[in-house]
Chain A
Amino acid sequence: MTSPSTASLESAPSAVKQPILKVSGLRKVHRTASHELTVLKDVSLSLDAGDTLAIVGPSGSGKTTLLGLCAGLDDASAGSVELDGEAIEAMDQDARAALRNRLVGFVFQSFQLIPTLTAIENVLVPLELRGESGREIEKEAERLLTEVGLGDRLDHYPLQLSGGEQQRVALARAFIHRPKILFADEPTGNLDAETSAPIVEMLFRLNREAGTALVLVTHDPALAAKARRVVTMSGGKIVSEEENSTADGRG
């Protein structure tokens, strides 16, 4: 266990490797007519390529807000986020979207599949958004879906799939475009223990095979323990960080 000081939370600078994610002094304030609510207070962290990081903490501690800001889904009130060396606060929404498509994969608690697309169409979207088309990418999508056990459900719509199956489609979609970093928000939050286990296994396996960095928000200590680093948040601040030397990222 290391000290919870902010400075020490940053990984040791590497002469050869640039961090895939670098967060500095991040702050998020929600303003309403009557009052201000600070949900993130000066959060800093960084993550190397291929590394795994779990963010844990009680509800309302700012985990999901931090994840959203890291992925450029929301605007910070102060501070900066760099993804693969590119500062996202300087980008407009479309530039951020392009960056996400190039670098980022997502897995959400509520799966977030597009209901009008079949499983394979959902998986193809990130590549199609790059302008790719053709049989080759369809084969890759089929391969990934087969890998997550849905080789026979390619043309099913999300409503025709169970929660676990939907999350497996989401996993295939998250990896199809070989992102450099994957953000997972409570990936097993909507699933029971039995369904969760293979999802977690797949998440870490695909992550390892693709060499993708993983940022995982979870309430589940067992899941968090599988990440190499675990940061704990409370009241909008990082209160501790652990490095799990036993974690091998194998799920």
Chain B
Amino acid sequence: MMGSNKSGLPGSLWTALFHPWVWRMAWRDSRSQRVRLVIFSLAIVSGIAALTAIHSLKASVERGIASEAKSLLGSDLRVSSRREIVADDVSRLAGMASRMSRETSFPSMMRFLPDGGARLMQVRGIEGGYPFYGKVETRPADAWEKLKGEGGVLLEPAMLDQFGAKIGDEVELGGMRLRILGVVDKPAPRGSRFSGFAPEVYVNLADIERTGLLTTNSMASYQVYLEIDGGPSSKALKDKVRKDFPDNPWQLETPEDRRENLGDALDNFQQFLGLIALASLALGAIGVAGAVHAHVTRRIATIGILRCLGCPGHLAFGIYFAQVLALGFFGALLGAGLGVGLQMGLLGAFRDELPISVSPSPEWKIVAQTTATGFAVCCGFALLPLMKIREISPAVTLRSGGGLKGGVLRSLPIYALLVGLLVMVAHANDPRWARSLAMVGGMVVAFLALVGVARGLMAVTRRVVGMRWPYLLRQGVSNLHRPGNQTLLFLLSLGLGTFLLVTILSAGRLLNKRLDLQQSGKSPNLYLIDVQPDQVAGVREVLDQTGLPVLESEPMVTMRVSSIRGVAVGKAKGVPRWVARREFRSTYRDKLNFTETLVAGEFATERADPTEVVPLSLEEEIAKDMMVGIGDELTLDVQGVPIRARVTSLRRVDWSRFNLNFFMVFPPGVLEDAPGFHVVTTRTPTPAASGELQRALAAKFANVTAIDLTLILETVRDILGKISTVVTVLGGFTVLAGLPILIGTLLNGRDVRLKESVLLRTLGASAKQVRTILVIEYATLGILSALTGVLLAVAANAALAVFVFKASPWPDPILLVGAFGAVTGIAVLGGLALSRGVCSHPPLEILRGGG
């Protein structure tokens, strides 16, 4: 045309996406569909919001856990020794850190004044600013500071109850009289779980050095705590200390080492977060695919006209891809904003209850990464319906009808790309390839199963429906296979949605159940040790009288390892030196307890032949440290008596529950005559109950020592409780993420059935008849989607339970029935809502307007 600007339209999709006409057409095309396109955006928003929130939360929690692990240790590096750390070494260590603190601890008798009640105590003499991380909580609140200033002692609350003492009273420790400044509610971190077998008493280190109490005590341990402020990592510092002090047999501990105290709960939590992130993204992506499918289906006529007027396929594709990109981009930004808000909101809401100090600040790098990934995955899923645009024939302008067509084979590269993208997302969550592949593989299997069910349903209904069937039933069921049916799309979107939601909710329950178990009443908080074999019955009786349960009662025999595979342990290649020094506390019994799992071999329940080598069960990690496996022979020195034992089984022990467990377990009939004692565990509800029990025991069995783990347990339990809450909240959020799928599916159904139903109305069908036909179709689709989705989720749940969470594979029947009922109910309600739309509008309005 004369005088016009003629630039030529782009010849490829890539250039089309930068051409103003394509964007102008994309804008024009959106005019009557903006509400629907917002729904498409919602799917992206929810998917990316979930992904961003979860990944940010994960990063924040990881940071929080790292800092909490510091609180559990109280420092960045703990150097501990049974020999005094000489002043020169102390000052060299101090030179490596920004702050340094010392502790000397040892057992000693303490006498309560004035009546003289005495108790073996673990004395902890501390100087400096320790703990550098976390806080010692005392009553009164300033008692910890007072201790460092004016001197005195701080005791565990049960001690005051046990000895009827009160704050302000005096105790005698060594030659010193010290005033009780207060009680410790949250103690300073200890070296290890069994640093001492006695209640703790805190004193100022300077007071200890003044008394000379230490010179006669060989059971002391010496600690130096280091804080690094912006310096090297704890691990680097640990390596440096190891290198700079090669001859000192110090035990070095970093916060990372301490993380193990939280057991596998954290790992499970991280895996659950990864699962939720993947599922939420997949839910969003399915929502996107469904919404774009519905949108493009409504645009078939327009695309046909454009093709007829000379629009090449890549330009038609470009128009709708541009819409997806634009909406996807804004949806992603909105989703990222929402995700950041959600992360900060969740952290803010639970901040006070959290023992983990996590600052609710955005993790911008994670936000950028997850937004880009989510955007790519959502646009990738949109390609599935968009690819079909190229298959729309211009002949639809002459004869309309039919839906989007397109062979699966042509979409195979897109499917491959999407699976690859999802695997990458899964891998970012869980570095173990097998698990990432299994998770995405599970989704692919679910997808294929739903396609199979949909195809099967169509084939069956095509064959079984006969002319003798009542009209309404025939019409409703035939809708499932007739041209323009929504069977495949409905089953895929709602079925996959159900599958992912139920899987997430089930996994959340699995994890919560596991956390409950870790926090349950089965975990003891009071250990009674040194119970002689003839005292076990008496101790049980005392517990019974005080109304406390006997959780565990097991014999304990101490022993050392003298040789491994016939080689003296000190010379055995690769075996660490500490194995030779370590005193192993072992037991004998004929069964595994509930915190143990057999991982290799066979657990020996008896010693079959007294002349044979003794069968031995080892904890799997200690077996790794000792570099032994099934069939290897060890010689054990049981207080002077050598015993030859062969490793016949390996056990995994869940140490996080604080139950009574042992590295070595023998069958009965081996150690009964060896000198040893029993350990009895119980759970006391309050410090007062603990004090009462300890008084009662002291009166009858003076030799029995009680170790109160309440304070340690509370810290760990607080963390687990918090994790449990977050799991529940996030599980609920995925339900919201599934909402766009539902709306998209129902809107698509509206497009398919509205005109047809209006035609029936025009031909004289009553509202009830239209409703019945729609409800039959929707109920069938709803039941099958829900049933397939739920069954697939049961399978996924079992796999997760067995392979990831190590829990019972049986799902919660209430959840399954609830999900089935809810999804079916929603589908039927969708059908009813559609029939309402049909009956509340004049038929001509819909016939003219094309719905």
Which A residues form the contact surface with B (CB < 8 A)? 64, 67-68, 71-74, 93-94, 97-102, 104, 106, 108, 110, 112-117, 121, 125-134, 136-137, 140, 159, 173, 177, 185
**Contact B398 A130, beta carbon cutoff 8 Å:** no
**Contact B393 A74, beta carbon cutoff 8 Å:** yes
**Contact A94 B313, beta carbon cutoff 8 Å:** yes
How far does the Cβ of A76 sit from chain B's closest Cβ, in whole Å? Answer: 12
Find the A residue at minimum CB distance from B299.
Answer: A116
**Contact B310 A136, beta carbon cutoff 8 Å:** no
B21 at interface by CB-CB < 8 Å: yes
Find the A residue at minimum CB distance from B312.
Answer: A94
Find the B residue at minimum CB distance from A92.
Answer: B313
**Contact A73 B398, beta carbon cutoff 8 Å:** yes
Q: Could you list 25 A-B pairs, sorted by A, with CB under 8 Å? A: A73-B393, A73-B394, A97-B311, A99-B310, A100-B310, A108-B397, A108-B398, A112-B301, A112-B304, A115-B850, A116-B28, A116-B33, A116-B302, A117-B28, A121-B28, A125-B309, A130-B6, A130-B8, A131-B6, A132-B6, A134-B5, A136-B1, A136-B2, A136-B3, A159-B849
Residues of B within 8 A of A110 (CB): 400
The CA of A140 and the CA of B2, in the complex, are separated in Å by 10
The CA of A224 and the CA of B9, in the complex, are separated in Å by 38
The CA of A164 and the CA of B440, in the complex, are separated in Å by 56
**Contact A94 B395, beta carbon cutoff 8 Å:** no
Name the contact of B9 in the complex, choosing from A71, A113, A129, A159 (C-beta under 8 A): A129
Name the contact of B398 in the complex, choosing from A94, A140, A177, A185 (C-beta under 8 A): A185
Residues of B within 8 A of A159 (CB): 849
B840 at interface by CB-CB < 8 Å: no
The CA of A225 and the CA of B6, in the complex, are separated in Å by 40
**Contact B308 A112, beta carbon cutoff 8 Å:** yes
Residues of A within 8 A of B31 (CB): 116
The CA of A64 and the CA of B394, in the complex, are separated in Å by 13
**Contact A133 B306, beta carbon cutoff 8 Å:** no
**Contact A101 B309, beta carbon cutoff 8 Å:** yes
**Contact A114 B305, beta carbon cutoff 8 Å:** yes
Find the B residue at minimum CB distance from A114.
Answer: B302
Name the contact of A137 in the complex, choosing from B4, B29, B301 (C-beta under 8 A): B4
B560 at interface by CB-CB < 8 Å: no
Find the A residue at minimum CB distance from B11.
Answer: A94
B124 at interface by CB-CB < 8 Å: no
With A73-B393, A97-B312, A128-B21 in contact, is A114–B5 under 8 Å at CB?
no
How far does the Cβ of A80 sit from chain B's closest Cβ, in whole Å? Answer: 18
The CA of A164 and the CA of B719, in the complex, are separated in Å by 74
**Contact B4 A97, beta carbon cutoff 8 Å:** no
Residues of A within 8 A of B398 (CB): 64, 67-68, 73, 108, 185
Give the contacts of B390-438 with A (CB-CB under 8 A). 393-395, 397-400
Find the A residue at minimum CB distance from B2.
Answer: A136
**Contact B310 A102, beta carbon cutoff 8 Å:** yes
**Contact A132 B4, beta carbon cutoff 8 Å:** yes
With A98-B310, A131-B6, A159-B849 in contact, is A73–B397 under 8 Å at CB?
yes
The CA of A208 and the CA of B92, in the complex, are separated in Å by 104
**Apart from A108-B397, A110-B400, A130-B9: 4 A-B pairs, beta carbons within 8 A:** A73-B393, A102-B310, A131-B6, A136-B1
**Contact B6 A129, beta carbon cutoff 8 Å:** no
Give the contacts of B250-292 with A (CB-CB under 8 A). none
How far does the Cβ of A196 sit from chain B's closest Cβ, in whole Å? Answer: 20
B32 at interface by CB-CB < 8 Å: yes
Name the contact of B3 in the complex, choosing from A67, A102, A134 (C-beta under 8 A): A134
**Contact A116 B32, beta carbon cutoff 8 Å:** yes
B314 at interface by CB-CB < 8 Å: yes
With A68-B398, A98-B310, A159-B849 in contact, is A115–B32 under 8 Å at CB?
yes
How far does the Cβ of A137 sit from chain B's closest Cβ, in whole Å? Answer: 5
Residues of B within 8 A of A73 (CB): 308, 393-395, 397-398
B307 at interface by CB-CB < 8 Å: yes
Residue of B5, B309, B393 with most chain A CB atoms under a 10 A cut-off: B309
How far does the Cβ of B466 sit from chain A's closest Cβ, in whole Å? Answer: 19
Give the contacts of B1-40 with A (CB-CB under 8 A). 1-9, 21, 25, 28-33
Residues of B within 8 A of A177 (CB): 1
Name the contact of A106 in the complex, choosing from B1, B32, B309 (C-beta under 8 A): B309
Q: Which 7 A-B pairs have the closest CB atoms?
A: A101-B310, A136-B3, A131-B8, A94-B312, A136-B4, A73-B395, A132-B4
Find the A residue at minimum CB distance from B298.
Answer: A115
How far does the Cβ of B289 sit from chain A's closest Cβ, in whole Å? Answer: 22
How far does the Cβ of A162 sit from chain B's closest Cβ, in whole Å? Answer: 11
How far does the Cβ of A115 sit from chain B's closest Cβ, in whole Å? Answer: 7
How far does the Cβ of B848 sit from chain A's closest Cβ, in whole Å? Answer: 8
The CA of A152 and the CA of B400, in the complex, are separated in Å by 31
Residues of B within 8 A of A136 (CB): 1-4
**Contact B397 A112, beta carbon cutoff 8 Å:** yes
The CA of A93 and the CA of B29, in the complex, are separated in Å by 23
The CA of A55 and the CA of B237, in the complex, are separated in Å by 92
**Contact B7 A131, beta carbon cutoff 8 Å:** yes
Residue of B28, B310, B393, B394 with most chain A CB atoms under a 10 A cut-off: B310
Residues of A within 8 A of B33 (CB): 116
How far does the Cβ of B818 sit from chain A's closest Cβ, in whole Å? Answer: 42
How far does the Cβ of B618 sit from chain A's closest Cβ, in whole Å? Answer: 67
The CA of A152 and the CA of B639, in the complex, are separated in Å by 109
Residues of A within 8 A of B306 (CB): 114, 125, 129
The CA of A39 and the CA of B28, in the complex, are separated in Å by 38
**Contact A98 B312, beta carbon cutoff 8 Å:** yes
Residues of A within 8 A of B25 (CB): 128
Find the B residue at minimum CB distance from A159.
Answer: B849
Find the B residue at minimum CB distance from A132.
Answer: B4
**Contact A68 B309, beta carbon cutoff 8 Å:** no
Residues of A within 8 A of B399 (CB): 64
How far does the Cβ of A107 sit from chain B's closest Cβ, in whole Å? Answer: 11
The CA of A114 and the CA of B26, in the complex, are separated in Å by 13
With A93-B313, A94-B313 in contact, is A127–B1 under 8 Å at CB?
yes
How far does the Cβ of A26 sit from chain B's closest Cβ, in whole Å? Answer: 15
The CA of A106 and the CA of B309, in the complex, are separated in Å by 8
**Contact B305 A126, beta carbon cutoff 8 Å:** no
Residues of A within 8 A of B9 (CB): 129-131
**Contact A126 B310, beta carbon cutoff 8 Å:** yes
Name the contact of B309 in the complex, choosing from A74, A93, A129, A185 (C-beta under 8 A): A129
The CA of A116 and the CA of B400, in the complex, are separated in Å by 18
Residues of B within 8 A of A173 (CB): 309
Residues of B within 8 A of A129 (CB): 9, 306, 309-311, 315
Find the B residue at minimum CB distance from A138.
Answer: B4
Residues of B within 8 A of A71 (CB): 308
**Contact B311 A134, beta carbon cutoff 8 Å:** no
**Contact A116 B5, beta carbon cutoff 8 Å:** no
Name the contact of B395 in the complex, choosing from A74, A97, A137 (C-beta under 8 A): A74
How far does the Cβ of A167 sit from chain B's closest Cβ, in whole Å? Answer: 14
Residue of A64, A100, A113, A131 with most chain B CB atoms under a 10 A cut-off: A131
Residues of A within 8 A of B849 (CB): 159
Give the contacts of B372-400 with A (CB-CB under 8 A). 393-395, 397-400
